[in-house]
Structure 1
Amino acid sequence: MSRAVIIIAALVVATLLVVTAVLLAALGHRRIGGGLRRRFGPEYERLVTRHQGDTKAADRELDRRLKQHGSVRERPLSPASREQYAVQWAAIQKRFVDSPQEAVTEADALLARLTSDRGFPADGPFEERLAALSVHHAQHVDGYRGLHGAARGRGSTEENRRAMTGAGELFDALVAEQPADSGRHRPQRHQAGGGGPR
């Protein structure tokens, strides 16, 4: 074989190796990104929007959350604690009719206590608690984010109602039946007779 043929063959092989490596990296990123998209759902989409369409930046942030908060183990609540939380939430929903802003503020404080009791970070900024919650309850954190925002400002009654409804989904997930009592008791949230925010 001539020297030119050997050089051309080597260049073709090197080019094929580079193209293969690039394709494998792209497929691996798509597979990782797809897994994060499935796991985090609307939270993933919110981060992509916040990062102006940069899916790699959203993936990096969610990877950081998984590494930092993936080992959080939710502590179970006793049946009595769950019932007490359910009663308090129902009372806040009833209060919403006459004092929406006050009810939203109380609901935000109640959820902070509940998340702490379940083992999520209680100290530090709200966004860090939300990051930890997103690893375990990704489908419900946006409602909690809305409630926290509504508790900090004066939203309209309709905005406050939507915030309460969204946060109620996280509340339900956090007080739901847990392994500690093997399902012997599951509190039902009481609905205010047509007057609650839901």
Structure 2
Amino acid sequence: MNNVMLTLLIILGVVVVLGLAAGAFYSWRGKRTDRLRERFGPEYDRVVDRADDRGKAESELREREKRHSEFELRPLEPEARGRYEIRWQQVQGEFVDNPARAVRDADELVTEVMSARGYPVRDFDQRADDLSVEHPELTQRYRSAREIARANENGEASTEQLRDATTSYRSLVQVLLEDKRTNATTTEPERS
């Protein structure tokens, strides 16, 4: 075998190895994308649409998972859950006479329940991002309800919009009150 033939075989071998490595990398990346898409549902699409590229969006979602895994989430004690359920009933009852106030109160109640569960609650966007790790569909509704609440503050929300916001808040309050999981039982985020 001459040197030219040996060189060609070495080059071919390197190309095959590089091709296999690239295939393995893209397969791993595809599985990671599928896992994130499955976990975050509509929130995955929202983040990808807002990001410069898919890699940055997926990195943000993995950061959310990491941040969430560091929370000390706790289930509510039965007494606290009962108090929040009574408060929610009051918010719903208030809707009949004062829908605008009911939406404000519902928004405040969600923040209080999240805080009681152990979520950081200083900033709405961060609160919604944190919530999206475990409840992505509800997070979409929460974002929508919050937009209606903002419009409500400016006197720009219709009664039907206020009803939609209240319904979304109700779904979120119910899930937060019923969720007995803590970080010990949540899925660990994928390390990259």
TM-score (norm 2): 0.85
- Aligned pairs (5 A) from 1:96-111: 96-111=95-110
Relative to structure 1, the CA distance from residue 73 to residue 138 in structure 2 (aligned partners, 3 Å threshold; closer, same or farther) is farther
Q: Deviations 1:25-58 (Å, cap 9, x if unpaired)? A: 1111110111111111121122122237x43232
Contact 2:149–2:165 (CA<8 Å) still a contact in 1?
no
- Aligned pairs (5 A) from 1:152-167: 152-154=150-152, 155-167=157-169
Contact 2:74–2:180 (CA<8 Å) still a contact in 1?
no
Structure 2 residues not aligned, in runs of 5+: 183-192
In structure 2, the partner of 1:142 is 140
Structure 1 residues not aligned, in runs of 5+: 181-198
In structure 2, the partner of 1:193 is none
Contact 1:77–1:118 (CA<8 Å) still a contact in 2?
yes
Q: Which amino acid aligns with 2:12?
A: V
Question: 1-side partners of 2:140 and 2:27: how far apart?
Answer: 30
**Higher alpha-carbon deviation: 135-144 or 38-47:** 135-144
Q: Secondary structure at the match of 1:46?
A: helix
Q: CA deviation at 1:93?
A: 1.3
In structure 2, the partner of 1:72 is 71
Contact 1:147–1:164 (CA<8 Å) still a contact in 2?
yes
Question: 1-side partners of 2:98 and 2:138: how far apart?
Answer: 24
Question: 2-side partners of 1:168 and 1:49: how far apart?
Answer: 28
**Higher alpha-carbon deviation: 34-43 or 155-164:** 155-164
Question: 2-side partners of 1:138 and 1:177: how far apart?
Answer: 14
Q: Comparing both structures, which one devotes a greater share of its residues to helix?
A: 2
- Aligned Cα RMSD in Å? 1.9
